[in-house]
Amino acid sequence: MGDQNPKKEKRDPFRAFGRGRAERGASMLELAMILPILVVLVYGIVDFGRLIHARLVVTNVSREGGSLASRDIRGGDALITMLQSSAAPFNLKNADGRIYITKIKAGTSVQNAEPQIDSRFQGGLLGAASSITGSVHGTPHGLSSTIYNHLRYVTQNNASDISEVTVVEVFYLYRPITPLPKLIENHFLPSGGLLIGSRAVF
């Protein structure tokens, strides 16, 4: 007798080939279902990461600008230009950016007890308004009551608590780079971009 096993089934190459095609078809179907979710996740990570980066840049620019302006290291248009350059890769010079630098002097006498705007500089073309309103040599509006009261002339002390403050405001219109926001525009994101702003008082 030979070593043949009557119970052993013969392999059908056509059945194995058909099963492999079915498994590949199922895999393609699963990929087709998962791929849109993966694409949305990648787009979301890219835009959210850029948004956080833009927010950090805007905050740092306003703080550094306030620090430099308050110490009179550089002022006016030269400081605006320097701050715009430091915001790279985000462009604060065109219609996507705006910087305001407002220097406010304290009251100096009983007759001039209220603080006054000493100077104001601005750069960029974005239509974002400063929170500090009032004309140069006029009374500023938009300061917190605490800072305003520290700038007022106090008769008992014959001086104000602080001599001046510098307010630096930076605005940037963040524009997503992926098509994802277009799909959810007007639901979660405003059309045209997201306005980011930061204010530093030194």
> Is there a domain that residue 29 lies in?
no
Q: What is the pLDDT of residue 14?
A: 46
**Domain with 167 in it:** 42-201
Distance CA 135, CA 153 (A): 20
Tell whether the model's pLDDT for residue 90 goes beyond 80: yes
Instruction: Domain count for the chain, please give it.
Output: 1
What's the CA gap between 34 and 14, in Å, rounded? 30
* Residue 112 within any structural domain of the chain: yes
Average pLDDT over residues 61-69: 93
Contact by Cβ (8 Å): 160, 140: no
Assign 91 a pLDDT band (cuts: 50, 70, 90).
very high
pLDDT-based confidence at residue 37 (cuts at 50, 70, 90) = confident
Question: For residue 147, is it within any domain?
Answer: yes
15 within some domain: no
For residue 1, pLDDT beyond 50: no
Which has the closest alpha carbon to 138: 114, 170, 110, 121?
114
Give the pLDDT band of residue 179 (cuts 50, 70, 90).
confident
* Residue in this structure with the two tokens 């403050």, named with its chain if needed: 165
Provide the pLDDT confidence category of residue 40 given band limits of 50, 70 and 90.
confident
What ranges make up the beta strands (E) of 64-178? 97-105, 116-123, 164-174
